[in-house]
Amino acid sequence: MMSILGKLILKILKNANLKELSKHQNANIKIGNFCDFKFYNGYKSISFAKDINVRDNCHFLVGKNASLKIENNVFFNNNCSVNCLDSIEIGENTLIGESVKLYDHNHKYSSLPNFKVEHQKFKTAPVKIGKNCWLGSNVVVLKGVTIGDNTIIGAGCVIHKDVPANSVIINKQEQIVKSI
């Protein structure tokens, strides 16, 4: 049976973009299948603490001048995406549910009458997720958001403004059942 470090080294050999993770060999990072790590030249910093678990099909992007910090005991379920062009920080003991998306940026665009969405120009603002948080499946966290410690974000929520510590956020939906 291969050690976790041995599996990590195999993954590093399979994907040159994972070379950065080799600096964190003592972190005990578990990486699932088909994960993608893109760390662009000139990134500011990347920090992985201990006991990070990344399930299958997860995507991490850290752009030029960007910072990514993941603290101890963070779990990413399947199909998560972390897109960092400014700064993303995830506190210890945080659970990230399936298909969660974290964005610290969005595209710049111009006003009418010459409306245009810029493909390579972005507005950025840091994202910070506190410790002991749980982000349910399909949560989307947008640029400039701080989520306080000990917070639960319910499945399907789009978080576009700060969430105070010790909160539960739910996506208020009304289920209407009609007879045929």
CA–CA separation, 78 and 60 (whole Å)? 13
Q: Which of 76, 68, 74 is nearest to 32 (CA)?
A: 76
DSSP labels for 94-132? -EE-TT-EEESEEEEEPPTTS--EEEEEEEE--EEE-SS
Distances (CA, A) of 32 to 8, 19, 52: 10, 16, 11
Catalytic position from the list 24, 59, 107, 160: 107
* Length of the chain counted residue by residue: 180
Q: Is 59 a catalytic residue?
A: no
User: Vertex 159, ends 106 and 78: CA angle to 5°?
Assistant: 85
Q: How far apart are CA 168 and CA 118, in angstroms?
A: 35
Count of alpha carbons within 13 Å of 109, Cβ hemisphere only? 9
Query: Which residues are known catalytic residues?
Result: 107
